[in-house]
Amino acid sequence: MKTIERSIFKGRDFISLHDFSQDELSCILDVAREIKAEQKAGRPHTILQGKTLGMIFTKSSTRTRVSFEVGMYQLGGHALFLSGRDIQLGRGETIADTARTLSRMVDGIMIRTFSHQEVLDLAKFATIPIINGLTDLLHPCQVLADLMTIQEYKGRLAGLKLAYIGDGNNMAHSLLFGGAKMGLNVVIASPQGYKPDPSVVALAQADAKENGGSVEVIDDPLEAVKGADVLYTDVWASMGQEEEAKVRMTAFEGYQINSDVMKRADQSAIVMHCLPAHRGEEITDEVIEGPQSVVFDEAENRLHAQKAIMALVI
């Protein structure tokens, strides 16, 4: 990995894809591919030997914990799992104090939590890089892995059409940012009352204008998928929204990726899902297990994309 690449990113936070230029995101994706190739070839790439990552989880996850923990190990470092039960955050100790204390002991912090403001506050007071593992507003690490997967299958990003069907949630927001930065044409189809945050859409539209892409938010999922190169969906009710599940089941009726929807997309379209999937709701079993699904390659790429982030910023 080139020294100049690390010097550009070293010490920076990774909180939103909106914070990075197209060239910077392209550089991270290049490093991710390089790191993936080294891992597949069995070549050691212990770039972070002796380094430690603190991982704060107030919101649990399979893929986030495993990918960061394994990734840090493969880079030669050590990952320290810190659940809400393990640390004093939220039980009397301020975020500022937590940030300044951990900054004296670890080399970087990954946080997966509900409130996006917690991540911003942590970054404000920490003197080490903060990586956003997920908030209710954004999921940038997932979308970096998504962009990597699209590149692997399509050979490019610019000019492709990505149709996202479902809730205008953290996934929709980060797909808007990532797609706009990389010149994709992103169409979000969500029912009324579940649209993406207008402020995120406005920022993404400005990013798209600058980078040759486009951003559109519509109601009709069948219109959204017309000629799409990439189809994407997420659960209708995310963690913390369980009480809304019944209402959401009604609201999202018709917002499913199934074989009929697939026929309206480009015949070589790929299907993506950030997982976990509720089969039979937002996506059918037939599609997620079908030949156009790249869901598990996408899941694996969380490991490689996040290793690139850690290698560059820590």
State whether 155 and 293 are in the same domain.
yes
pLDDT at 177 exceeding the cut of 80: yes
Q: Identify whether 234 is a catalytic site residue.
A: yes
- The rounded distance, in Å, linking the Cα atoms of 100 and 16 is 22
State whether 147 and 196 are in the same domain.
yes
What's the CATH code of the domain at 150? Answer: 3.40.50.1370
- The rounded distance, in Å, linking the Cα atoms of 135 and 114 is 5
The interaxial angle of helices 95-103 and 116-125, nearest 10 deg, is: 50
Residue 243: predicted pLDDT: 74
Q: Identify whether 302 is a catalytic site residue.
A: yes
State whether 11 and 24 are in the same domain.
yes
Q: What is the count of structural domains for the chain?
A: 2
Q: Identify whether 33 is a catalytic site residue.
A: no
Laid out side by side, the sheet with 270-273 consists of 214-218, 185-189, 161-165, 230-233, 270-273
**Tokens 């697939």, located at residue:** 262
Annotated catalytic residue, options 18, 63, 65, 139: 139
Annotated catalytic residue, options 27, 274, 304, 306: 274
Residues 271-275, mean pLDDT to the nearest whole number: 98
Residue 188: predicted pLDDT: 98
Annotated catalytic residue, options 18, 234, 256, 304: 234
Residues 170-199, mean pLDDT to the nearest whole number: 98
Specify the DSSP element, H or E, that contains 112.
Answer: strand 108-112
Q: How far is CA 130 from CA 110, 264, 285, in A?
A: 6, 41, 37
Q: Which amino acid is at 187?
A: V
State whether 90 and 133 are in the same domain.
yes
Q: Which two tokens stand for residue 217?
A: 């938010």
C-alpha gyration radius of the chain: 19
What are the pLDDT digits (tens) for 72-82? 999 999 999 99
What are the pLDDT digits (tens) for 121-170? 999 999 999 999 999 999 999 999 999 999 999 999 999 999 999 999 99
State whether 191 and 49 are in the same domain.
no
What are the pLDDT digits (tens) for 20-67? 999 999 999 999 999 999 999 999 999 999 999 999 999 988 899 999
State whether 117 and 213 are in the same domain.
no
The parent domain of residue 40 ranges over 3-138+302-313
Annotated catalytic residue, options 74, 142, 205, 256: 142
State whether 27 and 79 are in the same domain.
yes
Residue 240: predicted pLDDT: 66
pLDDT confidence bin for 88, thresholds 50/70/90: low
State whether 11 and 121 are in the same domain.
yes
CB 161 within 8 A of CB 230: yes
Q: How far is CA 225 from the centre of its chain?
A: 21
Residue 3: predicted pLDDT: 57
Q: Which of 4, 82, 67 is nearest to 310 (CA)?
A: 67
Q: Identify whether 292 is a catalytic site residue.
A: no
State whether 213 and 74 are in the same domain.
no
State whether 119 and 9 are in the same domain.
yes
Annotated catalytic residue, options 116, 173, 248, 302: 302
State whether 159 and 259 are in the same domain.
yes
What are the pLDDT digits (tens) for 220-239? 999 999 999 999 999 998 76
Annotated catalytic residue, options 112, 248, 273, 304: 112
Residue 91: predicted pLDDT: 65
State whether 146 and 236 are in the same domain.
yes
